[in-house]
Amino acid sequence: MFSEFPDNPLSFPQSRRDMHPLIRVGGVSITFLKTRHETHGVLDLFEMIIPPTSHMVLSHLHRDYDETVIGLNGITTWTIDGTDYKLHRGEQLFIPRGAVHTYTNRHKHTARVMFILTPGLIGPEYFQDLATVINVDGPPNLAAIGSVMTRYGVVPVTT
């Protein structure tokens, strides 16, 4: 088991206080368990809390990394290359680099989802930068959001 080796960059936090600070992007909350910095670029591992009616503002694809999404609580709906998938507790989705995708929580209950990005390329900086352009009054500035996404190899896709 990875956690048996204290110097292993892939060992998991032992408690919530060992995790990184909460990042709020709109109504969604993100907490990193391991960042690209700690894993030497192997992966980014984070948890996302998605309230009812929350959704990703822009469909997008990842140019240089794959994404595995694991349902922990609640139900989220993922659209991947035009096909909808419901993600329930204990289920997982693999989103390969280049696949256009987005998510939404269409249900009455908050959902909790774990993300594994391989390799780790974005770190918490991506979400912190997104928060600066999303957590403002008024309608979303899609150009500003797209600019942040592009800086991190996330390609916005408009339909």
pLDDT digits (tens, 9 = 90+) for 91-111: 999 999 999 999 999 999 999
The yes or no reply on domain 20-157 and CATH 1.10.10.10 is no
pLDDT tens for 58-96 read 899 999 999 999 999 999 999 999 999 999 999 999 999
* The model's pTM: 0.86
Structural domain boundaries of the chain?
Answer: 20-157
Place of tokens 């909460």: 22
User: What's residue 29's pLDDT?
Assistant: 96
